Amino acid sequence: MLKISRIAGVIALLLFSNAQYQGWSLFTGDGSSGSRSPSSRGYHK
């Protein structure tokens, strides 16, 4: 159990670090995945 706990803790830290780097947040939506847009990106002439 201790081994699993350590591995899970390391993975959690890695995920946490990535989430912070990417700027993810529970309370902020992702603008790139707007539901009403047919595509998230396009080009403006």
The contact set with other proteins (CB under 8 A) reads 1-2, 5-6, 8-9, 12-13, 16-17, 19-32, 34-37, 40-45
CB of 8 to other proteins, least distance (A): 7
CB of 19 to other proteins, least distance (A): 5
- Residues 22 and 36: their CA atoms lie apart, in Å, by 24
- Residues 40 and 29: their CA atoms lie apart, in Å, by 13
CB of 39 to other proteins, least distance (A): 8
Amino acid letter at 27?
F
Residue 10 is encoded by which pair of tokens?
């390391």
